[in-house]
Structure 1
Amino acid sequence: MPQRVLELSKMEQPNVKLPKVGQKSSAKLKFPTPKELISHYESQGMDSQEASMKVIEDLQKALFGVVSSGKGRSDKILAESSKKIDSIGNRLTVLDMKLDSKPGYVESLAIGIASGAALKGLGALVPHILAPLAQILNSVSSATKSSPQ
């Protein structure tokens, strides 16, 4: 009986070499390039524009199949990348609004000229305002010094 088990175990083993754990298989799945797909459809008798449209249609069908199957929604990598893309989009929107709200070179120059003129105008008015105030203070202080207590 042990000899028969040995014979059966030899018969059941396939002649296929299995890759070891941790090794990558040498035959990788290679997707066809767009040019290859277009040339394939052109070899079937389509002109260039029809072949291009057929390639786009096939791509749309494949994309719709992945999205509608629900596998794309449950994929963690897809969810994380979608969140990251939304975050980047929001940051770019905020940055764009900040840049739009800031004045440009011409506006900054106009603001500088206006503020300089305002300061110069205040500088011209201050002596005319301070001189009468100083006179009022002097007259009040001299009146209080001369009055008997």
Structure 2
Amino acid sequence: MEQPPDALPKDKTSGNQRRKLPTPRELVSHYESQGLDSQEASVKVIEDLQNALFRVISSGRGRKDKFMAETSRKIDATNSRLAVLDMKVDSKPGYGETFAIGVASGVTFKGIGTIMPHVLGALCQIWNSVRSSTKSSP
């Protein structure tokens, strides 16, 4: 008589107690011994294996899962940084716009350079008149 999956033999591997995995034939014969026919036993074995596989995948345990989660997080962070850089580059002016900004700032600087001597001269005259009016008063 086959052993049920709960009472499977254990192997000693590097001091740890581990269950020996049953073969598919052992699982089918176990379910047949419980009264299921061959097809129902096969379906039950497939369901059990799918559930076990789903539990292993969804458990999130193991170095590989942690590595994949960390790698996924790093890729997401890099992707978001690249998206921000792409938005910044797209918001910068092109060559034509840069040239127009340069011409406009050059004309503004030239205009300020032309007007400044007149403004500074007027301020100096105001300063001199205020200074002379305060000195001449005894």
| TM-score, normalising length: structure 1 | 0.48
Alpha-carbon offset, residue 105 of structure 1: 1.8
1:89 match: 79
Q: Which runs of 4+ in 1 moved over 3 A?
A: none
1:130 match: 120
36, 60, 67: which one pairs with 1:77? 67
Identity fraction in percent: 56
Query: How far apart in 2 are the matches of 1:80 and 1:126?
Result: 61
Alpha-carbon offset, residue 102 of structure 1: 1.6
Task: Check 1:80–1:106 CA distance in 2 against 1; reply closer, same or farther (3 A cut).
Answer: same
- 1:103 alignment partner AA: P
2:103 match: 113
Matches within 5 A, 1:1-149: 69=54, 71=57, 74=60, 75-148=65-138
Deviates more, 1:71-80 or 1:124-133: 71-80
Alpha-carbon offset, residue 146 of structure 1: 2.1
- If each structure's strand is expressed as a fraction of its own residues, which one has the higher value? 2
Query: How far apart in 1 are the matches of 2:103 and 2:90?
Result: 22
Query: How far apart in 2 are the matches of 1:85 and 1:73?
Result: 22
Alpha-carbon offset, residue 73 of structure 1: 6.6
1:25 match: none
Q: Deviation per CA, 1:57-113: give whole Å up to 9, x if none.
A: xxxxxxxx9xx9351672222212211221121111111011112222222211111
Q: How many residues align?
A: 82
- 1:69 alignment partner AA: F
Question: Structure 1: any 5+ residue segments left out of the alignment?
Answer: 1-64
Q: Deviation per CA, 1:91-137: give whole Å up to 9, x if none.
A: 11111011112222222211111111111111111122122221121
Q: Deviation per CA, 1:1-47: give whole Å up to 9, x if none.
A: xxxxxxxxxxxxxxxxxxxxxxxxxxxxxxxxxxxxxxxxxxxxxxx
Larger relative contact order (CA 8 Å, sep ≥ 6): 2
- 1:91 alignment partner AA: R
